[in-house]
Structure 1
Amino acid sequence: MGAGLWAWMQPDGGWGYSNAGLISDGGEAALVDTLFDEALTDDMLRAMEASCGVRRETIATVVNTHANGDHTHGNALLAHAEIVASAASAREMEAFPPATLAMMKAAGAAGQLGEAGRYFAEIFAPFDFAGVRHRAPTRTFSGVAGLQVGGHGVQLLEVGPAHTAGDVIVHVPGARTVFTGDILFIEGTPIIWAGPVSNWIAACDLIESLDAAHIVPGHGPLTDRAGVREVTDYLHFIEAEAVRRFEAGMGPEEAARDIGLGRYAGWKDAERVAVNVDTVWREWSGSNAPADALALFGRMATIYYDTR
């Protein structure tokens, strides 16, 4: 992307295959997100040294755009760096540490946890959660924060709750670049763990307003404003379809199976509709109950295996 900025892109963009970014100038460097396990993160850091000339020891700051492990599980490989995240993300990381994922994957692989466990073990088979050493954020913020990386002023803009409780986008105005974390899934289905949908749509509107020449999504290929609008359109679509069924008296599981995805059916991981409908349900019913992750993996599994 030039100007001392690079994007690390993982080609599949599906479950666990996230993107990251590097900001470097004047001998200083910051990393935007780590990857889903330490081996993947180590490969990325070695490649950055070989191709960008940036050694991991010179990376003084890691920004975690949100709490999910595919953006945080490599933090321990930057033991000397400050780890920056929103306060809401830090709380979420403590509530769902790598050990929990390792336990769920092992149980699923052993035939436990039913169809949810089978699905969990299958989609996360390439990743080594058991080898992840948890490293929590060392600096948190709410709202807006800033970094200086050499001559680059960097804005950290909290836009969650949306995908998760504390989503952050990373804007480098001087390089006309934005790293969006999982506010953007390109060619893949967004998953609304937290909501509300309106916050996520507002975050997409904000990204469009930044007039960035380079937009790095959390998953999938580099995109532009048209790609941002595609995500916005999906969110409007899924909310409208879910609300229509909510008002008709359907339950969230029935509604998720009833919605015809149309042009979105070909997006990766379309079964995430089960989570998205449930989140809309909880909002519209006024429920403050947290998402039941195991139950939702079970609903996704049912759709996934029924459509294979």
Structure 2
Amino acid sequence: MASSQQPGLHPLANGAWAWLAPGGGWGWSNAGLIVDGEESMLVDTLFDLALTSEMLKKMQDAEPLAKHVDTLINTHANGDHCHGNALVSGAEIIASTASALEMTELTPETMAELMAQSGEFGALGKYFQHCFGEFNFDGIPFTPPTRTFDGELDLRVGDKSVKLIEVGPAHTRGDVLVHVPGDSVVFTGDILFIESTPIIWQGPVSNWIKACQLIEDMNTDLIVPGHGPITDKHGVVKVRQYLQFVHDQARIRYDEGMGAQEAAKDIELNEYSAWSDPERIAVNVDSLYREFAGEDTRTDVLDLMARMAELAGFDAHS
């Protein structure tokens, strides 16, 4: 698929749509709409209310059934895929059990507080502003799922079959694919970052690689990633190859006794350096190191953000 796809609403098949963000960097996420008969399903909301409101208006202009969304699926817990939930009034909101629990840990209110305090964080604060400064987290009501599931869940939109497949923990603890077999479409959430660097907040990486292989084995032509342009199987393969590359490179350095941040700086990204946000290698190596060591504890998110800020060249004078 071409990387020149314009942001906005794109028809995919008969009654399936993709909403593409401008670019695929921090917070700029995609979403989807599925309609049939008299029913509609939204796949993810966006990072703040203004963005979500704009998306919903464009969907309603193009598709009358979008005026009342019956079902909303949150593919995972990151705020850029669920902070706009409050604007989808009356919908049943479905997520995996693991995602619903994870959503409580970094609410819109917490993000608003972090952004308000970012000026006190020095280089880290500047990196926060770089990543999230274009979004407004003030006054966003925390709107969690109303229904959860584990494993798989079969749903219908009109006469269309929609299958939810939990593939996490991977990117986050409860990642879900939304497969519409009749339309040959799959919405992947952040299992796929296209032309943007994947970030392993949770792992294990083997689960993420299996999730990519599952998509590769699907009978589907149109693949909507969580970030970046609509893709096909070639895009999925590239993400899988990146994950395997980082795993293998991190393992070499772990076995040599190199520290995680030192290893992140040492790994030559080669072809992957052209993807946006390459500094996410710091989080990916940290997650892999914890996996290699058999550790269940998670590194503090602010520490991880500081490591990425360092790799991205942010310092007190930047």
Asked if the contact 2:179–2:187 (Cα under 8 Å) also holds between the matched residues in 1, the reply is yes
What CA distance in whole angstroms lies between the structure 2 residues aligned with 1:147 and 1:134?
25
Equivalent position of 2:111 in the other structure? 101
**1:198 corresponds to:** 206
What is residue 216 of structure 2 aligned with on the other side?
208
Q: Describe the SS at the equivalent of 2:162.
A: strand
Q: CA deviation at 1:270?
A: 0.4
Q: Which runs of 5+ in 2 are unaligned?
A: 1-11
Identity of matched residues, %: 54
Instruction: Give the superposition deviation at 1:85.
Output: 0.1
Match of 2:178 in 1: 170
Q: Does 1:84 align with 2:94?
A: yes
Of the three residues 231, 242, 256, the one matched with 2:264 is 256
Structure 2 equivalent of residue 302 of structure 1: 310
C-alpha separation in 2, matches of 1:256 and 1:9 = 30
Q: Shift in Å at residue 306 of structure 1?
A: 5.9
* Aligned-partner Cα distance in 2 for 1:247–1:13: 33
1:239 corresponds in structure 2 to: 247
1:67 equivalenced with 2:67 (yes/no): no
Checking the alignment, whether the CA contact within 8 Å between 1:7 and 1:19 is kept in structure 2 is yes
Residue 34 of structure 1: SS of its match in structure 2? coil
Aligned partners of 1:255, 1:289: CA distance in 2, in Å?
Answer: 20
Residue identity opposite 1:52 in structure 2: E
The answer on 1:11 being equivalent to 2:11 is no
Aligned to 1:153: 161
Question: What's the CA shift string for 1:140-189, capped at 9, x where partnerless?
Answer: 00000011100111000000000000000000011111000000000000
Deviations 1:41-100 (A, max 9, x none): 0000000011222343x2111000000000000000012111100000000001221111
Which digits, 9 at most, give the CA deviation of each residue in 1:176-214, with x for residues without a partner? 110000000000000000001000000000001112111
Residues 124 and 314 in structure 2, CA contact (< 8 A), matched pair in contact too: no
Contact conserved, 2:123 with 2:314, CA < 8 A, in 1?
no
- Whether the aligned pair in 1 keeps the contact of 2:126 and 2:314 (CA below 8 Å) is no
Deviation at 1:5, TM superposition (A): 0.3
Cα 1:95/1:174, change in 2 over 3 Å: same
The equivalent position to 1:115 in structure 2, one of 119, 123, 128, is 123
Which deviations, in whole Å up to 9, do the C-alpha atoms of 1:10-37 show, x marking residues without a partner? 1211110100000001110000000000
Q: Is the 8 A contact 2:72 2:91 kept in 1?
A: yes
Separation (CA, whole Å) in 1 of partners of 2:166 and 2:291: 21
> Partner residue of 1:267?
275
TM-score, normalised to structure 1's length?
0.97
Structure 1: tracts of 5 or more residues without a match: none
Paired residue for 1:185, among 193, 197, 208? 193
1:215-266 per-residue CA deviation (whole Å, 9 max, x = no partner) reads 0000000000010000000000001111111111011111111111000011
Kindly state the Cα deviation for residue 6 of structure 1 after the two structures are TM-superposed: 0.3
Equivalent residues of 1:63, 1:84 under 8 A apart: yes
- Is the contact made by 2:162 and 2:178 (CA closer than 8 Å) also made in structure 1? yes
What SS does the corresponding residue of 1:275 show, helix, strand or coil?
A: helix
Q: 2-side partners of 1:214 and 1:237: how far apart?
A: 25
- Counterpart of 2:147 in structure 1: which amino acid? R
User: Structure 2: how far apart are the matches of 1:285 and 1:215?
Assistant: 34
- Counterparts of 2:155 and 2:27 in 1: how far apart (Å)? 27
Distance 1:103-1:306 versus aligned 2 partners, 3 A rule: closer
1:53 counterpart = 2:61: no
Query: Equivalent residue of 2:70, what SS?
Result: strand
The aligned residue for residue 42 of structure 2 is 31
Counterpart position of 1:21: 32
SS in 2 for 1:305: coil
